[in-house]
Amino acid sequence: MIGVIGGSGFYTFFGADARTIDLDTPFGQPSAPVTVGEVAGHEVAFLPRHGLKHEFSPHTVPYQANMWALRAFGVRRIFAPCAVGSLTPELGPGAMVVPDQLVDRTNGRGDTYFDSGGIHVGFADPYCPTLRAVAADLPNVVDGGTMVVVQGPRFSTRAESRWYAGQGFTLINMTGYPEAVLARELEMCYASIALVTDLDAGVEAGAGVRAVDVFAEFERNISGFKQLVHEAIAGVAPERTCTHCLAHEGVSLPFDLP
């Protein structure tokens, strides 16, 4: 099964005929019930990251519950569409990007299932190369970029924004971590697909980021963005062959994965 985790403004994926499943986990309930439908011959489970009505801010999203619920439900490959700011004028609003790296600047978020057992996972390349290749090969998609994930819920100061840009980061977001590493710990393939909604505060003199503008830009692009995710799913092979995301080969875990 393929999973889709919708970001800000991306709260639905199927029509009224989709099945709705309520799930629970050892980490509490996920952000919302999971809806299940079919896309291009694939069974797909959709979960809105922030809840059905954006009840969860980036730092309060139940990431551990979300990823555990999808894995327990049978999901093994995930596309994670999200809204991002751009740290470079070359990537303006409306650009769609498949990042290949992330930098974590969050704090206090539950970012592991292994608080015991001495378990470590490789994370040098945080996104599944197989899923990335499928999405990045689509028309009008930018292949590659480093996404810095900040704590939120506030936006960056101009100084912070310029600092991130000076490090060579190209995208800024509030939810890409710990989602990606939790997927790796659960041995699920995971790739982010980012929609640029704004230029960050330090990129354009006199500009600043406002939530109302971010949501408006996302709404203008949501139809095409959903279509892009549909096309990415259609390009996924029927059988999972990726070994990059099997993080625990040869390791004894303190519990069984769901």
In a domain, 115, yes or no: yes
pLDDT of residue 202: 67
Q: Which residues are annotated as a binding site for phosphate?
A: 8, 49-50, 175
pLDDT, one tens digit per residue, over 197-242 is 888 876 775 566 677 777 777 777 788 889 999 999 999 999 999 9
Global confidence as pTM: 0.94
pLDDT of residue 207: 65
pLDDT, one tens digit per residue, over 77-127 is 999 999 999 999 999 889 999 999 999 999 999 999 999 888 999 999 999
pLDDT of residue 215: 73
pLDDT, one tens digit per residue, over 57-75 is 999 999 999 999 999 999 9
User: In Å, how far are 64, 153, 168, 204, 246 from 9, measured between CA atoms?
Assistant: 21, 16, 28, 24, 31
pLDDT > 90? residue 15: no
Q: Which residues contact 16 (CB under 8 A, 6 or more apart)?
A: none
CA distance 174 to 248: 27
Query: In the predicted model, what is the mean pLDDT of the chain?
Result: 93
Would you please indicate which residues are annotated as catalytic (active-site) residues?
198, 200
In a domain, 250, yes or no: no
In a domain, 256, yes or no: no
In a domain, 251, yes or no: no
CA 68 from centroid of its chain's CA atoms? 15
In a domain, 249, yes or no: no
Q: Which residues are annotated as a binding site?
A: 8, 49-50, 174-175, 198-200
In a domain, 177, yes or no: yes
Q: Which residues are annotated as a binding site for substrate?
A: 174, 198-200
pLDDT of residue 200: 83
Domain that includes residue 96, residue range: 2-235
**What's the average model confidence in pLDDT over 140-165?**
95
Count of domains forming the chain = 1
In a domain, 257, yes or no: no
In a domain, 100, yes or no: yes
The CATH code of the domain that includes 180 is 3.40.50.1580
Residue 180: name the closest of 103, 238, 257 by CA.
103
pLDDT of residue 208: 67
Q: Which residues contact 9 (CB under 8 A, 6 or more apart)?
A: 83, 215, 218, 219, 222
Q: Would residue 64 be called left, alpha or beta, if left means φ above 0 and alpha means ψ between -120 and 50 degrees?
A: alpha
